[in-house]
Amino acid sequence: MRQVVGKRTIDLDGAAFAELRAPYPDLLLDLGTGDGKHVLAVARSRPDALVVGLDAGPDAMRPTAAKAARKPAKGGQPNALYAWGSVERLPVELSDVAEVHCLMPWGSLLRALVTPDEDVLRAVAAVCRPGAPFLVTLNLHAWRPPVAEVGSTPEPTPDTAADQLAPAYARAGWTLETAYRVDAEELASLGTSWTKRLGSTREELAVLALRGTIG
């Protein structure tokens, strides 16, 4: 695993990661973490969990990763870890993941979730603990007009998510239990720059949440 700590990138082998993980009963994985602020917020509210933010682009997360690496007295958060990697090639050190978040995905991760790519979903399921809850939030403005990643897929709604996404998710080991439009209060609580920007710059909130379990 390639751990991002500010401007540095550290190679963590299985033993080193296991040592970091040992104090925490649960591991929460945030896919496509972006600037990593959601990871920091969740880590502060979940001292029982090691919260790992994974992203294929390390630069956006570096400032938050540097903040998390400080001493706790100076605002550091020892149970927040940032990793450079992609969902297509998950770090081999990840296993027994207790919860998965994926907020406002973009690029290949967005494509994998809305096409959907069952191989990618299956790979995530393979590293999860049975029954691990998941939360996915989709920025529906990606369909207004459609970006390349969503292609010709129709803009999802709560009804079409149940009809069109749920069967493919189920084949990959994901049980989609509910899909709903996110309101302003929940959007703000997610603690990401993407969601704060969306809530402040759009007259209409257009975010679809998908919740369920994996495995």
Claim to verify: residue 36 and residue 119 sit in the same structural domain: no
- Tokens representing 50 are 């090691």
Closest by CA position to 197, among listed 75, 82, 34: 34
What is the arithmetic mean of pLDDT over 80-96? Answer: 97
The CATH number for 191's domain is 3.40.50.150
90 plus 115 within the same structural domain: no
Question: For residue 205, what pLDDT is reported?
Answer: 79
Residue 83 and residue 3 in contact, taking contact as beta carbons nearer than 8 Å: yes
104 secondary structure, DSSP code: S
Q: Model pTM?
A: 0.94
Determine the Cα–Cα distance for residues 49 and 44; give it in Å rounded to an integer.
10
Q: Whole-angstrom Cα distance, residue 27 to residue 35?
A: 19
Is there a single domain that holds both residue 174 and residue 211?
yes
Q: Please indicate, yes or no, whether residues 29 and 89 belong to a single structural domain of this protein.
A: yes
Same-domain pairing of 110 and 15: no
Which of 95, 127, 149 represents a domain boundary (last residue)?
95
Tell whether 115 and 209 lie within a shared domain: yes
Rounded to 5 degrees, what are φ and ψ at 198?
-65, -40
What SS3 state is found at 77? coil
The percent of residues above 90 in pLDDT, for the chain, comes to 89
Do 36 and 15 reside in the same domain of the chain?
yes
Q: What are phi and psi of 136, to 5 degrees?
A: -120, 135
Whether 213 and 127 map to the same domain: the answer is yes
Its domain, for residue 107, covers 103-215
Range in 19-23, 141-145, 146-150, 198-202 with the lowest mean pLDDT: 198-202
Asked if residue 172 and residue 152 are part of one domain, the reply reads: yes
Give the count of domains, the chain.
Answer: 2
Write down the pLDDT at residue 119: 98
Domain co-membership, 89 together with 139:
no
User: What whole-number percentage of the chain has pLDDT above 70?
Assistant: 95
Domain boundary among 40, 72, 95: 95
Per-residue pLDDT at 189: 87
| Residue at which a domain ends, from 78, 95, 112 | 95
Contacts 24+ apart (CB under 8 A), 180-184: 180/208, 180/209, 181/205, 181/206, 181/207, 181/208, 181/209, 182/137, 182/207, 182/208, 182/209
Q: Are residues 213 and 108 part of one domain? A: yes
Residues 195 and 89 grouped into a single domain: no
Residue pLDDT, tens place only, 110-133: 999 999 999 999 999 999 999 999
* Residue 128: CB atoms within 10 Å: 24
